[in-house]
Structure 1
Amino acid sequence: MLLLVTGCYGSKESIVLQPATLSEIYPGNILKVNKVELLDGSSGERKVIEDQGKIKKWINLIKDIKLIPDSNQEDRVGFIYGISLYEEDELKLGFVLNHINKIYYKNNIEFEAHIQAFFEEQFEKEF
């Protein structure tokens, strides 16, 4: 039992916290995303975007923004913006504004502004 607990603890501690871009985090070529699902965390409302022009334009705005890991990796609850990126019908990456692939990131004003603007455009309301 002690070995199992130590093993789990060791694997959590082995996460390397390095700055990264969404392009680097995405499993594959992020420019192949052809469907985006948005989830409004405050209302639960969902929107699916399949307009390739809108998707490419938005991805190009956010894909190379450097995200800095937060030194505090304690779990948090709640979110405003939930985003799922798909290739065909396969979910490739799901994330919220400051939590991607089990790593929490510091707030990034540029990243947040592009995500907020996309949500406001798609949901036709202010966030």
Structure 2
Amino acid sequence: MKIYHFLTVILLVFSFLTACQGQPETSADVKPMLFTELYQGDLSKVDKLTIRNGSTGELRTITDKAKIVQWLQVMKDVRFVPDPNQEPRSGWRYWVSLYEGENKVFELFPNNVNGVYYLTDEKVMASMEELFKTAKKEK
């Protein structure tokens, strides 16, 4: 009987300790940031973008430097505001990756950058939709 009580206490303590770990970040832990604060690399070195449609999985590529610069100009002043709800979620509309040569240097989703969830910004969504429409399809 003592072993039963001992094992029950151990199980309860273990359950309590594991429940207290891994709490998601709160929006109080992160501050609003500009795109240029999230991506701390040199934007002038970005020479390729890829964008994947989350609905279809289709991947498109942009290598035209003028289009890349134009898109980055729109993005550089976007302010990313943390979502008060930092609980993990799934699904995304678009996924953009920035490259320097063949090296992927940064990636973002409209509402998730570096593992932090942000409120969806209509300017970001519109720019990603336009980027996807004008990009070349991957073969």
Q: 2:68 aligns with which of 36, 55, 59?
A: 55
Mapped to 2, the partners of 1:117 and 1:123 lie a distance apart of 12
Q: 2:56 aligns with which of 43, 53, 57?
A: 43
Count of residues in Structure 1 that have an aligned counterpart in Structure 2:
122
Deviation of the 1:123 alpha carbon: 6.1
Calculate the TM-score normalised by the size of structure 1. 0.82
Alignment of 1:7-46 (within 5 A): 9=22, 13=25, 16-46=29-59
Asked if the contact 1:34–1:88 (Cα under 8 Å) also holds between the matched residues in 2, the reply is yes
Deviation of the 1:13 alpha carbon: 4.3
Mapped to 1, the partners of 2:50 and 2:59 lie a distance apart of 7
Aligned to 2:110: 97
Q: 2:99 aligns with which of 74, 80, 86?
A: 86
Deviation of the 1:77 alpha carbon: 0.7
Mapped to 2, the partners of 1:13 and 1:38 lie a distance apart of 27
Mapped to 2, the partners of 1:47 and 1:117 lie a distance apart of 12
- Aligned sequence identity (%): 31
Asked if the contact 2:86–2:117 (Cα under 8 Å) also holds between the matched residues in 1, the reply is yes
Work out whether 1:122 is the aligned partner of 2:135: yes
State the Cα RMSD in Å. Answer: 2.5
Unaligned runs of at least 5 residues, structure 1? none
Mapped to 2, the partners of 1:83 and 1:72 lie a distance apart of 23
Aligned to 1:106: 119
Larger-gyration structure (1/2)? 2
Asked if the contact 1:38–1:81 (Cα under 8 Å) also holds between the matched residues in 2, the reply is yes
Deviation of the 1:21 alpha carbon: 1.4
Mapped to 1, the partners of 2:40 and 2:83 lie a distance apart of 22
